[in-house]
Structure 1
Amino acid sequence: MSRRLSFPENLYDVLGVAPAATDEEIRRAGRRKQRETHPDLGGNAAEFTRVRLAVEVLADPRHRAEHDAWLATEQGVVTPPRADGVRLRNQQRAPRSRPFEPPKAPTGEAGSAESASRSAAGRRTAGTSELAFDRIPKPRADARKMGWYRRAWPEHPDVWPGENPTPPAPTMREYATVLPFVVLGLVLIASQVIPSSPMAAPWWPATAALWLLGLVWIVLRATGRYPAITRILYWANLAVIALGAAALFLIAMMRIFDSGDGALLLTIRAIVALAGVALAALAWWGLDPRARRMDFERLLADLANESAPPADSDQWVWGEPGATAMTHSAPGVNAVRRMYAEQIVGEQLRVLERMPGVRIVHGLRLPGGDPNVATISHAVLAGRRLAVIDSVLWRAGQYGIDARGQICCNNVPLPATAQEFPHRVERLFEYFGDVAEVRGWLTVVPESSGDFSIDYARTWRRVRPASVESLLRETGDWLAEDGAEVDRLLLRDLLELRVEP
């Protein structure tokens, strides 16, 4: 890191774990706290920001070491030594999917749609200059007729965290605690400037300077900028006002023992100065929740600026559809057929870019899996919603989910390799925890013309089978709820799973 981070509080206390907590304990505590504080689940946005920062810091060995060093220096809390592990979200997990089974040879009508047509695809490609891809029907979906497409979308998305933290809207507490100090300063300056006023004084420029100094630290504290300088200005402001009040009290006492002329007026001025000290302290206290939230937002912005795409980046797509299929497919997968399916579906996904917050990533691996094996065709992120898409090129027929949860073609279950995608989506759901909503779509592209339909009577828990048209309609409607938002930290974590071609 280019500079050392400073933290607003003990982040172990935020998650309710001990400093010696393991990565697994932090993961469980982080998921529980995020579920409790998530704004979409009835939680508080400020609390969710605190928890999100705690997870981001304590999940990364380098940032956790910085936090532990800060704890030891600032609060005297010494954490026990431990070996640095991997990032929380990159932990190895036991796969929930079935072990790989090589596809069985087709026997009559019970053969799979994938294996039955594999040899035919090879014969069409071999020994001829005409590509089999040209013979595959290219489904076209008219998204202009879909509800999400007709929405009025803003020109630019709402990016979080931004390059700099964005101050929240003022609250009644802030108005009630800050305005008295501002109004008292204005009234006092006006009473000193007007010659006919009994409070008129030649030192009104000094009063105005102190009032302006107060406005400076109020603005800095409200915006969360330069916290160290803000604290120095605040204490300097209070010290000068308090010294002025003490001097007025001293002069008033001397006047009482001398002639008594003007002692009462000087005493009133001293009391007003003390009231200014009290109101300044009240304004500082009233802005404390905002300042704490801005500290968390600033740290999250620093983490995002360090590792995530820039806040003003205009890049919407990472990778090319099908680019990883030929060299990074899992064993047992027909790489050519997968490449064709990903190219067809990936091209159609570009219509989702109508939503300003949509970000598309092609060719991803499983968390904790082989970094050179792309097992997920596409991922579309909008805000905190993540659509995971698998593209397959199968023969025409009627597809559906049977009572045992297996995908079938013409009522014949497909082999084990065709049943893996729902398990992969579950892995991603565990990987992102409650920070993101994860859903999946298994998109079937028919390899030839003929009767093709999908029965939606049954679906998996988080995954639906889909055609290209239903994919665009369903993902568009679902992503549209966050279609104008970009979560840079989620996008960063998604890009970490991308397999380079």
Structure 2
Amino acid sequence: MNRLLSFPENLYEVLGVAPAATDEEIRRAARRRQRETHPDLGGNAADFTRVRLAVEVLSNPRHRAEHDAWLATERGVVTPPRPDGVRLRQQQRTARARPFEPPTQPAGEAGSAAAASRSAAGRSTAGADEPTYDRIPKPAADARKMGWYRRSWPEHPDVWPGLHPSPPLPTVREYVTVLPFVVLGVVLIAAQIIPTSPMATHWWFGTVALWALGLVWIVMRASGRYLALTKAVYWLSLAGISLGAAGLFLIAMMRIFDSAEGAGLLTVRAAIALAGVGLAALAWWGLEPRARRMEFDRMLADLANDSAPAADSDQRQWGQPGATAMSHSTPGVNAVRRMYAEQLVGERLAVLERMPGVRILHGLRLPGGDPRVATVSHAVLAGHRLAVIDSVLWRPGAYAIDARGQMCCDGVPLAASVQEFPHRVERMHEYFGDIAEVRGWLTVVPESAGDFSIDYARTWRRVRPASVASLLREVGDWLAEDGTDVDRLLLRDLLELQVEA
């Protein structure tokens, strides 16, 4: 990553934490501030950008150390030393201290031996034998008839942060504060060039040079780049105008003492020059919000360019459906059945790519979980909406959630491990809830022909049971609200959870 040698402000104050704050305190403050400033929740986009930058910098130990050094040098704020660490999001890459031990009695998920024994004891499972892929009915789902699919979608998404920050539209404040300086320069130059004007002078090119210098720092300040150089050009412009005004006043005074003509006109020209100084200062003040926002946006773009997928990347999917099932499934899970289910569902998720902002990942672990175990089949991201999907291959039957919140087949509760997926979605919500809305779908694929139905009357808090057809319809309708947006920083954090096959 590039070194961030300077910062626009004290980022601890942006989050409302002390410089000695722990990683956990920063994480909690980040979630709170991002909720308060999120544009979709009534917040301000500029404030949200400030908070996102603060989170990116302070959650990375290297950038945080650079920020602390800048604070000590520029603001005189000394922060206490802290041990080196890793990025907050990457802290969860390693497994917990408990060593991995394969269970002696696998907890029965659909298709496991333990599940079969439970079925004999009266607890139904969704299938225990080993199916053949070619004999599994392929789910029929025609997305072309779905509302989200029939919408008109642009060819390219809106990517944030972009490769370079996009300047915001001019505001009323900027028009009111910048235009007077520009107009005064144009009028004064015209008055000095026109021969018949009483203010005509052979030194008009000096006014043109100072006015052009003013335009240079206005453009530089509006872009938020080269901050030190912008200040230097600004002060050089003010110094030139001020010296010109002082010289005109001096000449006017000399003519007054000598009783010569033209003293009044020189005094007027000097007063106009002083007005130019005031208008230049006003323009500098008026561009302050734009300059700060552009500086924040530029730093976020640099961070994204260093650590996230490229802004112009055409890649829409990461991983292959079912690739992690055989070697990275949760102990006790029938890996073959899981692989078949993930392949059948994952292949059909590709239709969601009709929305330009959709990004699909296969085979993810839980934050803080074992990095060798893929507990999430698929994740579909669009803007700030994250759909977490689990794919299971079960026998035909009538599936529903009972009053106790248990998944049942034909009225009989399934094995306890089947009920774990809602807890996984809650964990993803706890991890990404500060910047994304998270929902889950437990997708059931019938292993053979027969009566198959899902009762949607009851759902879990953030998770719905689904067939492949209802999955595509519901996920598509939900993601369509952000279907044109790509958040590269959120996508980067999600990619850190992907398990390599």
CA contact (8 A) 2:4 2:63 kept: no
Q: Which amino acid aligns with 1:398?
A: A
* 1:239 alignment counterpart: 239
CA distance in 2, matches of 1:176, 1:467: 58
* 1:106 alignment counterpart: 118
**1:98-128, CA deviations, whole angstroms, 9 ceiling, x for partnerless residues?**
xx971241334834334xx33x21xx6xxxx
CA distance in 2, matches of 1:305, 1:312: 11
TM-score (structure 2 length as normaliser): 0.94
CA distance in 2, matches of 1:31, 1:208: 51
TM-superposed deviation, 1:87: 2.7
CA contact (8 A) 2:125 2:415 kept: no
1:72-87 equivalence runs, <5 A = 72-87=72-87
* 1:68 alignment counterpart: 68
* 1:352 alignment counterpart: 352
TM-superposed deviation, 1:76: 1.2
TM-superposed deviation, 1:333: 0.7
Q: Which secondary structure state, in structure 2, belongs to the residue aligned with residue 374 of structure 1?
A: coil
* 1:219 alignment counterpart: 219
CA distance in 1, matches of 2:484, 2:175: 31
Q: Which amino acid aligns with 2:358?
A: V
CA distance in 2, matches of 1:386, 1:172: 37
TM-superposed deviation, 1:91: 4.8
Q: Given the alignment of the two structures, is residue 438 of structure 1 paired with residue 450 of structure 2, yes or no?
A: no
TM-score (structure 1 length as normaliser): 0.94
CA distance in 2, matches of 1:186, 1:444: 71
* 2:89 alignment counterpart: 89
CA contact (8 A) 1:148 1:477 kept: yes
Identity of aligned residues (%): 78
TM-superposed deviation, 1:363: 0.5
CA distance in 1, matches of 2:125, 2:210: 80
* 1:287 alignment counterpart: 287
**1:137-166, CA deviations, whole angstroms, 9 ceiling, x for partnerless residues?**
001211111111111111111000011111
* 2:266 alignment counterpart: 266
Shift of the 2–296 alpha-carbon distance from structure 1 to 2, 3 Å rule, reads: closer
TM-superposed deviation, 1:303: 0.6
**1:243-295, CA deviations, whole angstroms, 9 ceiling, x for partnerless residues?**
11111111111111113311111111111111111101000100101111111
CA distance in 1, matches of 2:22, 2:85: 9
Q: Which amino acid aligns with 1:276?
A: G
Q: Which amino acid aligns with 2:32?
A: R
TM-superposed deviation, 1:83: 1.2
Q: Which amino acid aligns with 1:455?
A: D
CA distance in 2, matches of 1:242, 1:400: 80
Q: Which secondary structure state, in structure 2, belongs to the residue aligned with residue 291 of structure 1?
A: helix
CA distance in 1, matches of 2:152, 2:331: 45
1:158-177 equivalence runs, <5 A = 158-177=158-177
TM-superposed deviation, 1:173: 0.4
* 1:129 alignment counterpart: none
CA distance in 2, matches of 1:222, 1:282: 14
CA contact (8 A) 2:318 2:362 kept: yes
1:441-460 equivalence runs, <5 A = 441-460=441-460
CA distance in 1, matches of 2:386, 2:119: 38
Task: Provide the alpha-carbon RMSD of the alignment.
Answer: 1.5
CA contact (8 A) 1:191 1:199 kept: yes
Gaps of 5+ in 2: 97-102, 109-113
1:384-403 equivalence runs, <5 A = 384-403=384-403
Q: Which secondary structure state, in structure 1, belongs to the residue aligned with residue 378 of structure 2?
A: strand
* 1:138 alignment counterpart: 138
Gaps of 5+ in 1: 95-99, 125-131
Runs of 4+ in 1 over 2 A off after TM superposition: 1-5, 84-94, 106-114
* 2:111 alignment counterpart: none
* 2:186 alignment counterpart: 186
CA distance in 1, matches of 2:178, 2:204: 22
TM-superposed deviation, 1:204: 1.3
CA distance in 2, matches of 1:159, 1:441: 26
CA distance in 2, matches of 1:107, 1:34: 47
CA distance in 1, matches of 2:368, 2:299: 27
Shift of the 5–133 alpha-carbon distance from structure 1 to 2, 3 Å rule, reads: farther
Q: Which secondary structure state, in structure 1, belongs to the residue aligned with residue 295 of structure 2?
A: helix
TM-superposed deviation, 1:438: 0.6
CA contact (8 A) 2:90 2:496 kept: no
CA distance in 2, matches of 1:404, 1:49: 42
CA distance in 1, matches of 2:398, 2:230: 67
Q: Which secondary structure state, in structure 2, belongs to the residue aligned with residue 435 of structure 1?
A: coil
Q: Given the alignment of the two structures, is residue 6 of structure 1 paired with residue 6 of structure 2, yes or no?
A: yes
